[in-house]
Structure 1
Amino acid sequence: MNTLVLGRTPYALIVLACAGLLGYAYYAEFVLGLEPCPLCMLQRLGFMIMGATALVAALHGPKSWGRWLYAIPFLGGAGWGLATAGRHVWLQNLPEDQVPDCGPGLYFMREFDFPFSEIVREAFTGAGECAEIDWSFLGLTFPGWALLWYVALTVFMLWASSTRSAAGSTSG
């Protein structure tokens, strides 16, 4: 049996990946000076949900069907991240004349206590600043990398859960 799917290892790996991704996002914001757009901030939420779920699962060490219970909030965070990163990648690839108008900035909305639902709606419908590309690595922008990581972590979690289920409860 592959040791990547034994015991608490898959959860620990996911925690480390999410912590590393969030750490780099904060490094880019506070050290490199790259101001995140509303969709960037919302993408962080998905990694936080996935990482927190994996952390609790790593501490608990679920067996059998309990692994699939942790998959529910994990997949919720992954779905959130896939939706926000997918929207962000789409916005960045729109022709310039089709980019939506910019709405109020995220910091402005937070400072004036906009409801979370309004912030999310604005990010998905009028976040023209999200189409700007300030950073890329190997041809992918921040949201492109985030989308790739959301897919990879989701596939890994599903693979680890199904492989562990097939191995029985002795590897728990």
Structure 2
Amino acid sequence: MDGAPRRVLALIAAACVAMLAFGMYLQHVVGLEPCPMCVVQRYALIAVAVFTGLASLRAGRGWWMGFGGLALLSAGFGAFVAARQSWLQWYPPEVATCGRDFYGMIENYPISRAIPMIFRGSGDCSAVDWRFLGGSIANWSFLWFVAFSLVLLVLIVRGARRRGR
């Protein structure tokens, strides 16, 4: 693998780390508490950062394409969760009640019940507490996850084409 894809993968990992740091700033300095869907998006962002970081470190084509594929799946999952949260923000449920936090759901319910509860959302997930250029945190997360997915898809397709030659 030449240096350009490795640099792109490292740049994606660095962007994910910067986004996670900004999320921590919003939580601990500004005082915004993340909803369950925000926490799931953070985990997806961590997965993208770890997989792209590992892909940028491994020179073997099989390694970087494997880690790149896992990063692509993680980014796609993050985009799905962010899109669902954006939809809840645009069309909030009629009864907006604050549900349990993410960890409370995982600790008190079996995983088969907790996961649907997370994606169903709550009053917390439909609240828009912060905006930048008209977009909520979920809107911006969706755009970043889609951008990461597209870049990763291009890298993987190019890598597969080179492999076939």
Do the two structures share a fold, i.e. TM-score over 0.5? yes
* Secondary structure of the structure 1 residue equivalent to 2:83: helix
Tell me whether 1:128 sits opposite 2:126 in the alignment. no
Give the Cα–Cα distance (whole angstroms) in 2 for the partners of residues 21 and 59 of structure 1. Answer: 21
The 4+ residue runs of structure 1 with deviation greater than 4 A are: 110-113, 164-169
| Structure 1: runs of 5+ lacking an equivalent | none
TM-fit CA distance, 1:66? 4.0
Greater RCO (Cα-Cα under 8 Å, separation 6 or more): 1
Deviation at 1:168, TM superposition (A): 6.2
Residue 32 of structure 1 aligns with which residue? 30
Instruction: Give the partner amino acid of 1:55.
Output: G
Deviates more, 1:73-82 or 1:19-28: 73-82
1:82 corresponds to: 79
Please give the TM-score of this superposition, normalised by the length of structure 2: 0.85
Number of residues of Structure 1 aligned to a counterpart in Structure 2: 163
**Does residue 141 of structure 1 match 2:148?**
no
Relative to structure 2, which stretch is displaced further, 54-63 or 40-49? Answer: 54-63
In structure 2, what is the equivalent of residue 45 of structure 1?
A: 43
Give how far 1:27 is off.
Answer: 0.8
Q: Aligned partners of 2:30 and 2:151: how far apart in 1?
A: 30
Work out the CA distance in 2 between the residues paired with 1:99 and 1:86: 19
Residue among 56, 65, 70 paired with 1:68: 65
Letter of the aligned partner of 2:24 in structure 1?
A: Y
CA distance in 2, matches of 1:85, 1:29: 18
- Taking every aligned residue pair, what percent have the same amino acid on both sides? 28
Partner secondary structure for residue 45 of structure 1 = helix
Contact (CA 8 Å) 1:101, 1:126: kept in 2 or not? no
Higher normalized helix content (fraction of residues)? 2
2-structure distance, mates of 1:127, 1:10: 37
> Partners of 1:122 and 1:49 in 2: how far apart?
22
Mapped contact 2:37–2:121 kept (Cα < 8 A):
no
Q: Say what the alpha-carbon RMSD is for the aligned residues.
A: 2.5
